Amino acid sequence: MFQLAWRNLWRNSRRTIITLMAVALSTALLMMTDALMVGFIEHAVKNATNISVGEAQIHDPDYLTEHSMYDTVENADEVLATLDKDGIPAAPRSFGFGLLSNGAKSAGAQFWGIDPEREREAFDLPTHIIPGMGTFITENMRGKIVLGKKLAKTLQAEPGSELVIVVQAADGSLGNELFVVAGVLKTIGDAIDRGAAILHHEDFERLFVSGGRIHEIAVNSRGTLTLPELATLLKQMAPGQEIKTWRLLLPILSDFMNTIDVTMWIFMSIFLIAAGLGVMNTMIMATHERIHEFGVIKALGATNSRIFRDVAAEAVLLGFLSTMLGVLIGLVGCYFLQTRGIDTSAWAQDTSFGGVAFDPIWRGAIRAASIYVPVALMWLICFFASVYPAFLMVRLNPVEAIASHG
**Per-residue pLDDT tens over the stretch 116-155:** 999 999 998 898 899 999 999 998 888 999 999 999 999 9
Confidence at residue 148, expressed as pLDDT on a 0 to 100 scale = 92
Band of pLDDT at residue 347, cut at 50, 70 and 90 = low
Across 41-75, b (16+ Cβ under 10 Å) vs e yields eebbbebbbbbbbbbbbbbbeebbeeeebebbbee
Confidence at residue 187, expressed as pLDDT on a 0 to 100 scale = 83
Distance CA 252, CA 190 (A): 13
Spatial neighbors of 178 by CB under 8 A, at least 6 apart, are 143, 162, 163, 164, 165
Distance CA 12, CA 255 (A): 49
CB 89 within 8 A of CB 219: yes
Instruction: Provide the whole-model pTM.
Output: 0.70
Percent of all residues in the chain with a pLDDT value above 70, rounded to a whole number? 96
Tell me the CA end-to-end span of the chain in Å, nearest whole number: 26
CB 385 within 8 A of CB 277: yes
CA distances (Å), origin 245, targets 63, 82, 201, 291: 15, 19, 24, 64
The residue ranking higher by pLDDT, 40 or 161, is: 161
CA distances (Å), origin 252, targets 63, 188, 200: 20, 15, 31
Confidence at residue 251, expressed as pLDDT on a 0 to 100 scale = 81
Confidence at residue 354, expressed as pLDDT on a 0 to 100 scale = 59
Is beta strand 242-245 parallel, antiparallel or unpaired with respect to 56-59? Answer: antiparallel
- Mean of per-residue pLDDT scores for the chain: 85
**Per-residue pLDDT tens over the stretch 168-191:** 888 888 878 899 999 999 888 788
How many other CB atoms are there within 10 angstroms of residue 224's CB atom? Answer: 13
Residue 406 has pLDDT above 80, yes or no: no
**Per-residue pLDDT tens over the stretch 314-342:** 888 888 888 899 999 999 999 998 888 88
Give the residue among 361, 360, 359, 357 at the shortest CA–CA distance from 336. 361
The residue ranking higher by pLDDT, 299 or 2, is: 299
> Strand pairing partners for 353?
356
Distance CA 258, CA 360 (A): 22
**Per-residue pLDDT tens over the stretch 93-106:** 999 999 999 888 88
**For residues 223-245, average pLDDT:** 90
Band of pLDDT at residue 348, cut at 50, 70 and 90 = low
Confidence at residue 181, expressed as pLDDT on a 0 to 100 scale = 94
Distance CA 313, CA 110 (A): 68
Residue 404 has pLDDT above 70, yes or no: no
Confidence at residue 274, expressed as pLDDT on a 0 to 100 scale = 82
**For residues 69-91, average pLDDT:** 91
